[in-house]
Amino acid sequence: MHPTMRTPRRRLLRGLAVAAMALPIALGAAACGDDESGGSTDPNAPVKLSVFYWGSEARAKLTEEALNAYKAKHSNVEFEVTWQANQGYADKLATLAAGGDVPDLFALDDNMLADFATRNVTADLTEAKSSGKIDTSKFPPSLVEYGTVDGKFVGVAAGENTPGLVYNKTLVTKNGLPEPQTGWTWDQFIDWAAQVTTKTKVPGTMDPSADYKAFWVWLRQQGKDLYNGKQLGFTAEDLTKWFTLWKGARDKKATPTADVIHEGNVTDISKQLVVTGKAATSWVWANQMPELKKNTKDELGVVAYPGDPSGQWARAAMYWSVARSSEKKDTAIDVINFLVNDQAAVNILGTDRGLPSNLDLRTKFAETVTDPNMKLSIQLENDLASKFGKAPQVPPKGHSTFRSELVKAAENVQFGRATPEKAAADLIALVQPKLG
């Protein structure tokens, strides 16, 4: 491992503490300096690029390998990489931004994209896209659209993903029950889950009423959307129907009890209920199949969320963005283009950040895959590709508030602390003023 590729978490935390006191930190030093400017007319001039993202140890290893592959072609480029767990990532990036120390290249998701774009933290990459410096010509159109905020292209999809219902295939088949199917209605799925509970004594499904992904897909199938500009795209009546749907499922014993549902709401991917044996189905991202399988001996399956598949769309699992303040934008842009459009990089990164965004390279990558669970993820995404609906707008600033408040509201209903009507009305009254 190259010494500039290893930045311990303690170093990050020390750096953030210093940033809070408005003093220079290591990342800021790396992001500045005329001698390291990416705008140098000499293509061989030394460049040190700071990179910041979140993820697991496995993701860190893959990312390091991909960046080393870039460095093998550009020996003048060094990387100073910092990574951490997802929790607290946005807050730490905001701290760096407040101190003027934004890393040159950093990761965002749709929970953060509009927030940092409207703060002018992200560079406008429209010219880089139109000139081909970042080639998106082989991307599904919705992946490109979904990285655009207020007319500016600010996020390049690191991979494509879609929500998936991951179920315990071993449990279902050994008990003579049918496997769930893409295209089932919500009522069909809930009835199936109740049958699973009755036959196996394992609750048929995790209750997803606190899951914004599931609610969003359900809304789109009703002809609504999560947002309309800087306003919520649904009414209290819509949310009441959603909470009522899952109250009915709990009454049928299709889901676990409220305390176990809460556990499913707060656990990481390695402890989802489908692998801990506390539910037969979990509502996750399709590309998480391989990681889930590591935590169970049972065979797993994956299908789309219930209802019309056109309610789903090709989503960016994560974006790469460039700091507006970076003096090395050209290098950062070239690194992004390499990560998404170089076959070697795509093969290294696999599906860790979703399926490769470049459809041609995705096809070639799929031919090399041996992991049966990764194959299932790819198959689901490919099967849905022709059924995906148009991408919605990127969520506005305040989306993170909606996500956290949805969990609280849903759990208030699950624990009997509020009726569906009261929980829905309270959420809308709290969230709407915080949007935009």
Q: Per-residue pLDDT tens for 102-130?
A: 999 999 998 899 999 999 999 999 999 99
Determine whether 47 is exposed, middle or buried from the number of CB atoms within 10 Å of its CB (0-12, 13-18, 19+).
Answer: buried
- The larger pLDDT score, comparing residue 301 to residue 374, is at 301
Average pLDDT, the chain: 89
Identity of the amino acid at 137: S
pLDDT at res. 234: 98
Is the pLDDT at 32 greater than 80? The verdict is: no
pLDDT at res. 35: 35
pLDDT at res. 315: 87
Angle at 58 between CA 56 and CA 63, to 5 degrees: 95
Is the pLDDT at 164 greater than 60? The verdict is: yes
Q: Is the dihedral of CA 372, 169, 380, 246 positive or negative?
A: negative
- Average pLDDT of the residues in 284-313: 93
Q: Does domain 3-159+316-378 have CATH number 3.40.190.10?
A: yes
pLDDT at res. 309: 94
Q: How confident is the model at residue 397 (pLDDT cuts 50, 70, 90)?
A: confident
Is the pLDDT at 58 greater than 50? The verdict is: yes
Is the pLDDT at 3 greater than 80? The verdict is: no
- 360, 45, 300, 1: which is closest to 167 by C-alpha? 300
Is the pLDDT at 33 greater than 80? The verdict is: no
Is the pLDDT at 231 greater than 60? The verdict is: yes
Tell me the HSE value of 288 on the side-chain side, using a 13 A CA sphere. 22
Is the pLDDT at 203 greater than 80? The verdict is: yes
| β-strand partners of 53 | 83
- Average pLDDT of the residues in 41-57: 89
- Average pLDDT of the residues in 32-41: 40
Looking at the chain, the domain(s) classified CATH 3.40.190.10 span 3-159+316-378, 163-312+397-434
- The larger pLDDT score, comparing residue 412 to residue 86, is at 412
Highest mean pLDDT of the ranges 7-21, 71-85, 256-270, 367-381: 71-85
Identity of the amino acid at 63: T
d(CA 136, CA 145): 11
CATH for the stretch 163-312+397-434: 3.40.190.10
Q: What is the token pair recorded at 259?
A: 């305390």
Q: Is the dihedral of CA 325, 331, 336, 339 positive or negative?
A: negative
Tally of CB atoms within 10 A around 295: 13
Q: How confident is the model at residue 267 (pLDDT cuts 50, 70, 90)?
A: confident
Q: How confident is the model at residue 25 (pLDDT cuts 50, 70, 90)?
A: very low
pLDDT at res. 42: 72
d(CA 232, CA 240): 14
